Amino acid sequence: MSQHHDDHPEHGHIKLEYQPALPIPNGKLCLWLFLSTEIMFFAGLIGAYIVLRFGAPTWPSPHDVHLSEPIGAFNTFVLICSSLSVVLSLEAAKADKAGRAKFWMFVTFVLGLAFLGVKGYEYKEKFAHGIYPAHPHGLLYDKPDVYYASSVKVALEDAAKHCTTQIELVDKSASEIAEAKAEIEEAEEAKDQEAKTKAEEKLAAAQKVNEEAVAMADTYRERREKMELLRDGLVQWNTRAATQNPNPVEGQALMDSIAYTIQHPHEDEEELTRLVEEKGTLATKLAELEQAEEQDPQEIALVKNRLKLIDYLTADDAAILRHGVNHTYDWVDLPFVIPSGNMWASTYFLLTGFHAIHVLVGLIVFAVALPVTLGVSKATFIEAAGLYWHFVDLVWIFLFPILYLF
């Protein structure tokens, strides 16, 4: 609403003029309404995360879930720089310097892409370690119980089967070589050059597979032996002892030992001490079983497997026990336990995923604007896009500390 003195100020009348809208462009008004809903949306998500995070009895540290604080800080710096560049683009557009405005918008676009690239790398690292928001791809378990032990057993058996399949390739390829040689002889007798060529190609392929299989056969035999030893001497032994133990605390400690051996967050000398003491006890028990009048071959075999496992875990200054099976062997990914890990994964991927979608929307807006001449006539558009981008940056400023630092 504005007021004007009429052409005859001596009369002292005030003339009112009706303006049918708020004193801002409609586009900017719609943007602010949209951002207000987005603020409520992210406030709800972040608030729910804070309640779950500080209400949980335990929460994984960034190291436990392969979260890198320097990488998160770098991404924060990238977004802050992108906010600066979009402001510079707006100032250039207001000055009707279209070329400079386009340059700074391109810089903003590249910085946004860099943010998404780093986020994609972080996601890749999580997926590579079996950290998914849900099963069946996820290898995360919240606690070591019978379900966890069953999952580890299945994974060990699958790994052993894979090794067996690779070992069988030696015999299979050898059979194919013999078959291909016979086909070559038949083709030569029949003077069928086309059949001979196909047989020679088949022979070459089989020989290549055979060479690779023979070279890796011993490695796969060694891996299969380790998987079977872990299945029999660790998972089955501890599960049976835990279910037979009348003390629930001691039973849970045995289940914890499975998770600790597979992947433990921190070194614990107590586990090594416990295994050394158990070895002494089992050696005495084995001697008694072997000297008994009525021997139990199955029990003797179980005790021998357990002793063999303890030797395996405590060899070379307990290297495997100190680092965990998953960290020692990069060729196997066994299910592992992180208390509240599934809750962490769900909230992490939900918050960062929605934020990444908003970043992607902003990049699409910038990509659409880049081919256009960004003169003074487009200043309002750049201002609106910049407001949205500042909001995206502001959300990340909140997400970075609560996800990476606390």
CA dist 329 → 306, 320, 334 (Å): 21, 9, 10
**pLDDT tens for each residue of 79-134:** 999 999 999 999 999 999 999 999 999 999 999 999 999 999 999 989 988 898 87
Paired tokens of 405: 């630092």
Which of 113-117, 193-197, 388-392 is the least confident region? 193-197
Q: What would the pLDDT profile of 331-346 be if each residue is shown by its tens digit? A: 888 999 999 999 999 9
3 pLDDT above the threshold of 50: no
247 vs 266: CA distance, rounded Å: 26
Q: H/E element holding 70?
A: helix 69-94
- Tokens in use for 183? 């086909």
Residues 363-387, mean pLDDT to the nearest whole number: 92
| Structure confidence at residue 170 (pLDDT) | 92
Q: How buried is 140 (Cβ within 10 angstroms: 0-12 exposed, 13-18 middle, 19+ buried)? A: buried
Q: What pLDDT was estimated at residue 355?
A: 96
The pLDDT of residue 136 is 75
pLDDT tens-digit map of 290-333: 888 888 888 999 999 999 999 999 888 888 888 889 989 988 88
Element (H, E) at 378: none
The CA distance from 311 to 127, in Å, is 33
Asked whether the beta carbons of 141 and 147 are under 8 A apart, the reply is: yes
Task: Write out the two tokens for 2.
Answer: 């504005």
**Which two three-digit tokens encode residue 342?**
């599934």
Amino acid at 159: A
* pLDDT exceeds cutoff 70 at 181: yes
What does DSSP say about strands 140-141 and 336-337: parallel, antiparallel, or unpaired? parallel
| Interval 125-149 mean pLDDT | 87
pLDDT of 10 above 60: no
pLDDT for residue 21 is more than 80? no
Q: Kindly report the number of other CB atoms within 10 A of residue 126's CB atom.
A: 18
Most confident listed range (64-68, 285-289, 324-328, 348-352): 348-352
pLDDT of amino acid 11: 55
Q: Please report the pLDDT score of residue 120 as a whole number.
A: 95
pLDDT of residue 191: 84
Q: Write out the two tokens for 77.
A: 């710096």
Collapsed DSSP state (helix, strand, coil) of residue 169: helix
SS3 category, 223: helix
Helix (H) or strand (E) holding 336: strand 336-337
Strand locations in 122-169, DSSP E? 140-141
Find the mean pLDDT for residues 368-393. 92
Domain spans of the chain, in order of start: 26-140+341-405, 146-328
Could you report the per-residue pLDDT of 231-267, keeping only the tens digit for each? Answer: 999 999 999 999 998 999 999 999 999 999 998 766 6
Contacts of 168 (CB under 8 A, 6+ apart): none
Tell me the C-alpha distance between 13 and 314, whole Å: 99
Average pLDDT, the chain: 89
Write out the two tokens for 107. Answer: 């810089």
CA 183/CA 203 separation, integer angstroms: 9
Q: What are phi and psi of 14, to 5 degrees?
A: -105, 125
Select from 402, 372, 374, 328 the least CA-distant residue to 93: 374
* Tokens 């609560």 belong to residue: 402
Q: SS3 breakdown of the chain: % helix, strand, coil, rounded to 5?
A: 80, 5, 20
Architecture of the structural domain at 26-140+341-405: Up-down Bundle (1.20)
Q: Which of 23, 105, 100, 94 is nearest to 379 (CA)?
A: 94
Q: Considering the chain, what percentage of its residues have pLDDT values greater than 90?
A: 65
User: From CA 356, how far away is CA 139, in angstroms rounded?
Assistant: 24
143: Cβ–Cβ under 8 A, 6 or more apart, which residues?
337, 339
